[in-house]
Amino acid sequence: MSGHPEADIYHRQGMGQRAGMGERPALVIVDFVVGFADPAHFGGGNIAPAIAQTVRLLAFARHHRWPVAHTRVVYADDGADAGVFTRKAPSLLKLTEANPLSQIVPELAPAKGEYIVRKQGASGFFGTALAAWLTQQRADTVVVAGCTTSGCVRATVVDSMQHNFRTIVATDCVGDRALGPHEANLFDMGQKYADLMTRTEIEVAVSG
């Protein structure tokens, strides 16, 4: 992202520094569910290749025994827990507990001991126990994959940083239905909220 045409003003203002990888990373996979993998519903753009890269990142995290959390958007069947988010995007109300669209994609199916976060907002942290769970797991770094980059990934990244976790966006493991918002939000997160690293860079940093 250093080649961004407006990167120089951020550099002059001292932004874009690195927080680095801590000693106890955790992986948070945001909303890689069937509905977001399908362009006919909530998907499109580069979400499919991001899922494919996340399969490999998840295998790496499991091998290294990282804590792993998966988030899903889940609303009550009658919409009783719906808020303004669903006024902006009413089709989200389809994502109920049993709806096939709200199920985590099979290739990323949670393993025993991995935490499933059910949320009604954009951030995986808002109104959930994710921060407490990560603290219980003694995590000091949160590696984020998922979708969409400009929406629930960004909201989760900002809240991760605000909970004082070092935060890393796995750049090829996040996707959006449109590439413009994807690129713009990666750049902005890298300047203010998170380190940007590819899956391979993360693996090299951990494995030495």
- Which range of residues forms the domain containing residue 138? 23-72+104-207
Q: Is 173 a catalytic residue?
A: no
**Assigned domain for 34 exists:** yes
Is residue 134 a part of any domain in this protein? yes
Residues of the chain with pLDDT under 70: 1-3
- In a domain? residue 174: yes
Question: Which one is catalytic: 152, 153, 194, 196?
Answer: 152
Question: Rounded mean pLDDT of the chain?
Answer: 96
The tokens for 67 are 């804590």
What pLDDT shows up at residue 8? 87
**Residue 145, domain member (yes or no):** yes
Do the domain assignments include residue 118?
yes
pLDDT at 208: 73
**Number of independent structural domains in the chain:** 1
Is 6 part of a structural domain of the chain? no
Residue 87 covered by a domain: no
Residue pLDDT, tens place only, 151-186: 999 999 999 999 999 999 999 999 999 999 999 999
Q: Considering the domain boundaries, does residue 58 fall inside one?
A: yes
CATH number, position 134: 3.40.50.850
